[in-house]
């Protein structure tokens, strides 16, 4: 799976948008960009994924650049409960029985 690079930490004010960047310059054409988050002492939670188009769901938006070498996860109105480590993962075809390879992620701290 392609390697990803994320900043180690970010702060965000409560109620503001949190924009978490991810670089994946070696991504292959069949690889998706996935985002998971891990709240302290819990298992990872799926957030969103995409191939090349921007995606939005009830949790977040995912913006993928046209060359697919980077992406940004957007939490539109961050709350204190969004404080977590956010992992950007690149992997091939969704639905396949493959393990996820976790990098070091970004520790997002939402400040009151």
Partner 1 sequence: GAVVSQHPSWVICKSGTSVKIECRSLDFQATTMFWYRQFPKQSLMLMATSNEGSKATYEQGVEKDKFLINHASLTLSTLTVTSAHPEDSSFYICSAPHLGASEAFFGQGTRLTVV
Window 80 to 109, contacts with partner 1 (CB under 8 A):
87, 94-105
Contact criterion met (CB below 8 Å) for 109 and 10: yes
Question: Cα–chain-centroid distance for residue 94?
Answer: 16
Residue 23's H or E segment, with its range, is strand 18-23
Of 11, 46, 57, 79, the residue at the interface with partner 1 (CB under 8 A) is 46
Of 7, 10, 14, 44, the residue at the interface with partner 1 (CB under 8 A) is 44
Verify binding: residue 45, partner 1, rule CB under 8 A: yes
Contact criterion met (CB below 8 Å) for 64 and 90: no
**Positions in the binding site for partner 1 (CB under 8 A):** 34, 38, 41-46, 49, 87, 94-105
């Amino acid at each position: 799976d392609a390697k990803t690079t994320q900043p180690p930490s970010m702060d965000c004010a409560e109620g503001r948008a949190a924009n978490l960047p991810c670089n994946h310059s070696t991504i292959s054409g069949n690889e998706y960009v996935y985002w998971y988050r891990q709240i302290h002492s819990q298992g990872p939670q799926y957030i969103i994924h995409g191939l090349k188009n921007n995606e939005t769901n009830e949790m977040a938006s995912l913006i993928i650049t046209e060359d697919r070498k980077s992406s940004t996860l957007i939490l539109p109105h961050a709350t204190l409960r969004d404080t977590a480590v956010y992992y950007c993962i690149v992997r091939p075809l969704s639905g396949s029985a493959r393990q996820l390879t976790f990098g070091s992620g970004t520790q997002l701290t939402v400040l009151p």
